[in-house]
Amino acid sequence: MKHARFIAATVLAALLLAGCTGRRTAGDAADKASAGDGTSETAVSTPELTGKETPAGERSSLAASRTWTGRDGSSKRWGPFAENDTTFLFVHEYLIGSDTNRYKVFIRKGPQPNDIPNFASLSPQNESAWKDFTDLLHTLKKRRPGPLAHHAALAGLPHSWTPVRSFRGSYYVNCFNPYPVWISDSLFVRQTMDGPRPSRISAAERIAPTHYRLRTTAGDAGIDRVDIYLVDTVCRMAVFAFSNDRKTERFQSLYVPFETGLEMDMIDFHSLELPDESEVEWNETDFEALISGAVPLRETDPKTDKTNNE
Instruction: State how far the Cα of 42 lies from the Cα of 109, in Å rounded to an integer.
Output: 13
Rounded to 5 degrees, φ, ψ at 80 are: -80, 145
φ/ψ region of 38 (left if φ > 0, alpha if ψ in -120 to 50, else beta) reads: left
Question: How would DSSP label each residue in 7-24?
Answer: HHHHHHHHHHHTT-----
- Name the residue ranges covered by the structural domains of the chain: 145-292
CB 189 within 8 A of CB 197: yes
Nearest CA among 21, 25, 16 for reference residue 176: 25
Per-residue pLDDT of the chain (310 residues; tens, 9 = 90+): 444 443 344 434 433 333 333 333 333 333 333 333 333 333 446 777 765 554 443 443 444 568 888 888 888 998 899 988 899 999 999 888 888 888 999 999 988 776 665 554 434 455 666 777 788 888 888 887 888 889 999 998 999 899 999 999 899 998 888 788 989 999 998 888 877 888 999 999 999 999 999 999 988 888 999 999 999 878 789 999 999 988 788 899 999 998 898 899 999 888 888 777 788 889 999 999 999 886 655 544 333 344 434 3
145-292 CATH, one of 2.40.128, 1.10.260, 2.60.40, 2.30.130: 2.40.128
Q: Is 225 exposed, middle or buried, given 0-12, 13-18 or 19+ CB atoms closer than 10 A?
A: middle
Q: What is the pTM of this model?
A: 0.73
302 upstream amide cis, omega within 30 of 0:
no
CB 93 within 8 A of CB 101: yes
Nearest CA among 226, 227, 233, 234 for reference residue 211: 227
